Structure 1
C-alpha cells in the first residue's frame, strides 16, 4: 500500500529552499517509501533538486508565488493562504494531495492556517502544539501545549493528555506513557481549579486510557526523565520552554567561557572533549526538531526557523513516522475509550480557553 505524500513548504525557514530541500533529501534516505510535494518557487526548487536526484525522482513541485514572512500576523497570512507556499502546503493535506505538511515558517500563521483548513478532530475542542524535549532518561519528553492556547479548562487538559500520550507511544515506542500535569507543586491540594478538575477526570478514567496518570510535576523536574508526557496550558508551557532553552544556552556559554579562560582550561577542554561533544549533541535543537499540531484532521509539523538540513530532516521524519503509525486514528480510538461526552461535559466549562496562534513561536526552537 502506498503511503501519502508529504508536502514541504520549501520557502519557510531562515535559509529557505536550499536547506528545506536538502533536509527532505536526508529524510527520504530513511523513509524511501515516501514521496514529496515541494511547494514554493518552482524555478528555485528545481535548481535545488539538481543536487538531490534521489529526492527529485520522488517529488512533484507545486508552484506558489508568495511567501509568508516571519513577522506577518496570522490574520494577514490567512488572507493570502491561496497564494503562499505555507498555505498551499496545508491545503494539500486538506485536499488529500498529501498526508502531512511540514513548514519552518511563521508559527502563528501555520497554526491559524492549519486550524482553519483542517479543523479539529471530533471530540477535540482545541489543537495543541507538542514538542519533544531532551531528558536524562531513556526517552525524550513530550510536552504540550506550548503556545497555541493561552488559557485552558479541565477538559482541554484532559484532551491534551490523550493526544500527548498517543504521540509519545508513537515517537518513543512506549506502551503506557507516564502522564503528569504541570503544577506549582506535587501535592494534590496545589494548583488552580481547572488543574484539580483535570486531575480528577484523569484519575477517574484510569484503566480506560492507554497511559498512566501520575499526578502533578513541577517545572524543575521536566528534564529528569521520570515522566513521559507533561500537560499544561499554552501560556505556562511557552514560558517553561523558554526557561529551559535559556538554561541550556547559559550552561553552554558558561562552559565555553570556562574552557577558554586560561591555558590550563584549554588543555582540560581537550581531555573532556568527548563529554562536551555528547552534551552539545544532546542540547542541539536540530536533534529534537519537529513540533506537531495535535488534534487536527491531518498531520502538520513545525520545524524551527533556524534549523539546519539535519534539523529539517528530523521534522520531515516526524511527519513520516506519524503517517506510518496513524496518529489521528490512535487519538480517535483513545477518545472513544473514555467517551467523548465525559470529557466534553465534565469539569469546569467556564469557556475561558482561547486559541492564540500568535503566542506559539518558542515551540519552533525545540522539538
Structure 2
C-alpha cells in the first residue's frame, strides 16, 4: 500500500507541475503578444464649398490671407493617410498627404518638387524610459493652437497665427515628462521649411515647457525667433476656451518683418453630436511682413478676423458650416464693383471624414 501511495503522490506532483507550466506558457505568450509592435492605419479626407458674400467669386475670387480653404466654389482639401508602427520601446509614423491642402502644407516640397513629394511627417521614435522619448525625422510643429489636419481643428479655415508660423520641422527632439503636470521638450532642427535636407549648414533650436495642458513655446531660427503660448480651459462640461498668443521677430538683415497676434476659441457643445465655436483673432504685422496683403507707408498692417463654425457629427463624418469676416486696416480686398474695401465676408461648408 505504501508503494501505491507514493506512486499516486508522484503522479499528482507531475500533473500539478504540468498545469503550472501550461499556465505560465499561456501568460508568457499573452505578454509576448501584448509587447509585439502594433501597426495602425488611419487618416482623413475633406472637401468644401466656399463663396464670398461681399466680393466676386469665380475667376476673380479673393480669400483671406490665411492658409487653406481658399479655393472658390466646390473644392478639394486633401487625403491624409497615416501608417504607424507602435512598439513598447520604438516605433515610426509615416504621414502622407494628397491634394491642394496637402500641397500647401508641405509648400509643394520645395527641395524635391519635381519628384512629387507627399510627406507631411516621417519620423522614428525611441521611448528611452517612461520619462524620456527621442524623436528623429520630420514632424509637425509644436507651436500654435491649430494643426494641418482638419480633423483636429474645430474651425475649418485657419488663423493667421497658424498660417505664418512654421508648419513642420526636420530634426531631433527630446520630450521629458518631468512630473504628472510638467513636461519639457528640446529640439535641434533644420531651418524652418527646409524639411527634406539642410543646404545651409545652419540650424534652428526649439523648446517647449508644458504645465497641465498649457504650453510656452520658443523657436530660434537664424536671426529670427518666435515665442508662442498655446492652451485652453474646460470652463464647464460643455464649454471650452482655447487660447493662442504669439510674437515673431524677423531677421532684419534678411528684410523679414515681424508680427504679433492673439486668438481666442470659445466652443460650446450643445449635444453629443453638435457643437458651435467662435474664433476671434487680432493679427498685426510690421516692416511689410506680407500676411495681410497690404500695409501703410511704414509697412504696418493689421487684421481682425471672426469665424463662426458649427460642427455636426454623423458617425465618422463631420459637417462644418462656417461664416468668416476679415476686417483689415488697409483696403486689401475688392467688392463686386471692383472697388477696394477693407473687409471680406465669406461662407464655407466643409465635409471631413476620418478613419
Q: TM-score interval w.r.t. the shorter chain?
A: under 0.3
TM-score by length of 2: 0.23
Which one has the bigger helix percentage?
Answer: 1
TM-score by length of 1: 0.22
Larger Cα-atom Rg: 2
Which one has the bigger strand percentage?
Answer: 2
